[in-house]
């Protein structure tokens, strides 16, 4: 798969991260239907609201061959807000590498835990990182219902 380069995102990266999120949701296999995927992310995120949301988080991205292939973010309230990896790069340890760096950042900030709303696809990866499922939820997006899990990991 090749070596990954990890770096903290800056504002010029934000539109590209919106595209990575869109592609990660819409491409590859998924437990969600096409209608559910469209309700989740109808188009690549960009603009002021998106930029402000990312600017208020620690956003780590992974690059391979000068292409952004995934990213994760940590919000101020111990919340892991985004975790997206392009389908072609899944299954090679990239999730773990991103997560370990996010957890290090959380520890530096003095966080006692990290919590997340994990998709059905992402929940097993979070479990491998030591997260436990707190509850299964169903959220309404447009005319679609999407199931997910609220999960957390206590940091030592």
Return the number of other C-beta atoms located less than 10 Å from residue 21's C-beta. 21
Residue whose entry in the numeric block shows the structure tokens 């030591």: 130
Residue extents of the structural domains in the chain: 5-110
Taking 70 as the pLDDT cut, the residues of the chain under it are 1-3
Radius of gyration of the chain (CA): 15
What pTM was estimated for this model as a whole? 0.95
- Of 3.30.830.10, 3.40.605.10, 3.40.630.30, 3.30.230.10, which CATH number belongs to 5-110? 3.40.630.30
Position 4 scores a pLDDT of 80
Position 1 scores a pLDDT of 57
Position 75 scores a pLDDT of 96
Position 156 scores a pLDDT of 82
Position 127 scores a pLDDT of 98
pLDDT tens-digit series, residues 2-21: 668 999 999 999 999 999 99
């Amino acid at each position: 798969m090749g070596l990954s380069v990890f770096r903290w995102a800056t504002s010029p990266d934000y539109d590209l991260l919106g595209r990575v999120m869109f592609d990660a949701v819409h491409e590859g296999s998924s437990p969600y239907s096409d209608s559910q995927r469209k309700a989740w992310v109808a188009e690549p995120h960009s603009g002021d609201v998106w930029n402000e949301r990312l600017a208020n988080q620690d956003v780590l991205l992974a690059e391979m061959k000068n292409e952004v292939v995934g990213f994760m973010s940590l919000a101020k309230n111990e919340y892991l807000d985004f975790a997206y990896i392009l389908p072609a790069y899944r299954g090679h340890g990239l999730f773990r590498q991103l997560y370990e760096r996010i957890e290090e950042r959380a520890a530096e900030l003095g966080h006692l835990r990290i919590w997340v709303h994990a998709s059905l696809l992402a929940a097993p990866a979070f479990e491998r990182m030591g997260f436990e499922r707190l509850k299964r939820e169903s959220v309404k997006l447009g005319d679609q219902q999407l199931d997910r899990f609220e999960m957390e990991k206590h940091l030592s």
